[in-house]
Amino acid sequence: MTAATATSPALEVRPAPAWVTPLELGLLGAIWGASFMFMRVAAPEFGSTPLVAIRLGLGAVILLPFLWRERRAFDHRLWPRLALIGAINSAIPFTLFAWAAQRAPAGVGAITNSMAVLFAALVAFLFYGEKIGARRAVALITGFAGVIVLASGKVGGASIGLPVAAGTFAAFLYGIGGNLVKRHLAGLPATAVAAATLSCAALMTAPFAISQWPQHAVSAKSWGAAATLGVLCTGIAFVMYYRLIARIGASRAATTTYLVPLFGVGWAWLLLDEPLTMTMVVAGALILGSVVLSQRPVK
């Protein structure tokens, strides 16, 4: 999915016709859902770290103009904090998802990714004293039950427990990252923050990517998937997301989270001929249902 956002998107967005917002939400869900398919295609040839370095580098290039425009807001003392958040919110979780994509269907990563919303609430409760409420507590328990169901499943006779654990831990890191951005980078332009953290993450992963660069020739198919993952699913998708936040607010823009696992499983089934198992259906229903429950406004 996405890295966490700051609270002030530095994008001026003109009012749009009523039909534009649902269309863009659906398109963004489709793009982020496709990211797991592209990882599934490219990771076996590139390996997880080189693929992530390409993704981060291309995504950062797309967003760098926003950072350049807001460069005066980024004091040099901010950069260690930005680097830490870049590691927690991009470099490590992207690598975990890419590692999982080498070992399990793309839908597995898309489903576990949805846990990020629940983990953000859990981290806020455990470390920042925010109230979690009975409904969110039930949602967390339901979501964790979904993870257990998913981890217990098999694809092609092989266990997917470790890829599920990797994707779940990546979602947990997203939850930590979201809270760090909210509390330590509030007021900074969100697109510029994303550019800064992606750039830091790209620089951090570069030495590992170079040392692990594949010795064999990488196919044009995998290069295309890696490039699309970086340019479309990271750079352009982030710009779309922040434009939506500027137009309709963060809570409504976050509803695209509900669409990511649906598209992730759907794209992999349609284009990669990956199986849709009953375990994935049950686990996805539990996790997605828990996310919807946790996001419902209090009456």
Give tens-digit pLDDT for 60-83. Answer: 999 999 999 999 999 889 999 999
User: SS3 of 131, please?
Assistant: coil
Query: How many domains does one find in the chain?
Result: 1
pLDDT of residue 298: 53
Residue 14 lies in a domain: no
pLDDT of residue 299: 53
Residue 146 lies in a domain: yes
> How deeply is 2 buried, as exposed, middle or buried, from its count of CB atoms within 10 A (0-12, 13-18, 19+)?
buried
Rounded to the nearest 5°, which phi and psi values hold at 155? -125, 120
Whole-angstrom Cα distance, residue 255 to residue 168?
20
Structural domain span for residue 159:
20-295
| Mean per-residue pLDDT over the chain, rounded | 89
Q: Does the pLDDT value for residue 26 go beyond 50?
A: yes
Residue 12 lies in a domain: no
Residue 6 lies in a domain: no
Rounded to the nearest 5°, which phi and psi values hold at 3? -70, 160
Task: List 154's β-bridge partners, or say none.
Answer: 159
pLDDT of residue 86: 95
Question: Burial letters for 215-230: b for 16+ Cβ neighbours within 10 Å, e otherwise?
Answer: eeebeeebeebbebbb
- Contact of 55 with 230, CB cutoff 8 Å: yes
Confidence category of residue 7, pLDDT binned at 50, 70, 90: very low
Give tens-digit pLDDT for 80-122. Answer: 999 999 999 999 999 999 999 999 999 999 999 999 888 988 9
- C-alpha distances in Å from residue 225, one per residue of 37, 204, 291: 9, 22, 29
Residue 15 lies in a domain: no
Give tens-digit pLDDT for 32-62. Answer: 999 999 999 999 999 999 999 999 999 999 9
Residue 72 lies in a domain: yes
Alpha helices in the chain (DSSP H): 20-46, 48-69, 79-86, 92-101, 106-113, 116-128, 133-152, 161-184, 190-211, 220-230, 237-248, 250-253, 259-271, 278-295
Q: Does the pLDDT value for residue 9 go beyond 80?
A: no
Rounded to the nearest 5°, which phi and psi values hold at 212? -110, 15
Residue 123 lies in a domain: yes
pLDDT of residue 190: 86
The residue ranking higher by pLDDT, 251 or 114, is 114
Give tens-digit pLDDT for 127-175. Answer: 988 888 888 889 889 998 999 898 888 776 778 999 999 999 999 999 9
pLDDT of residue 296: 66
